[in-house]
């Protein structure tokens, strides 16, 4: 394992994490071929800080994320290019839907560009995760993202 400036290189994968206790934990794994795997783990208390959280610090032993309902989706290089195009040329209500379907699951990730009402020249993104398994178990959650992440 080699530490990098912005991520950790482990077995040919660069790993990045974004942790927001209010909404979700995202783990990005980028391999040498340009494919991206996203692991999205929703918060147990969506939109609300977990109990005992002070100044962004979570007390040791506090359960914050619902690991039972995590969604993992793999994106190809062309999917990553489409995400990059959406982020570099934001337009109000522009959406990008990514589908992954098989006989065992159906997964959809929708990235939407929203206009900031307080500042007409600023945009923010939301990511909606939706997964249904063959057993009929449905997991859905929404994650607001800052435009800074996409710059």
What is the tens place of the pLDDT at every residue in 51-81? 777 666 777 877 888 888 888 888 888 888 8
User: How does DSSP assign the chain, residue by residue?
Assistant: -EE-SSSEEETTEEEEEEEETTTEEEEEEEETTS-EEEEEEEBSSTTSPPTT-BTTBPPTT---B-GGG-EEEEE-HHHHHHHHHHHHS--TT-EEEEEEE-SSEEEEEEEEEEE-TT-TT-EEEEEEEEEEETT--EEEEEEEE-GGGG-
For 96-113, what is the mean pLDDT?
A: 89
Model pLDDT, residue 95:
92
Across the chain, mean pLDDT equals: 80
Fold observed for domain 2-150: Transcriptional Co-activator pc4; Chain A (2.30.31)
């Amino acid at each position: 394992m080699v530490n990098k400036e912005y991520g950790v290189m482990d077995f040919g994968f660069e790993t990045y994490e974004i942790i927001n206790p209010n909404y979700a934990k995202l783990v990005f794994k980028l391999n040498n071929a340009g494919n991206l795997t996203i692991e999205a783990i929703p918060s147990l208390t969506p939109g609300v800080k977990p109990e005992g959280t002070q100044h962004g610090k979570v007390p040791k032993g506090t359960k914050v994320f619902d690991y039972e309902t995590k969604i993992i989706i793999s994106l190809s290089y062309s999917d990553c290019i489409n995400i990059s195009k959406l982020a570099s040329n934001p337009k109000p209500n522009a959406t990008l839907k990514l589908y992954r379907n098989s006989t065992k699951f159906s997964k959809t990730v929708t990235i939407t560009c929203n206009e900031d009402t307080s500042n007409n020249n600023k945009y923010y993104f939301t990511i909606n995760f939706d997964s249904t398994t063959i057993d009929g178990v449905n997991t859905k959650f929404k994650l607001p993202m800052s435009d800074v992440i996409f710059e």
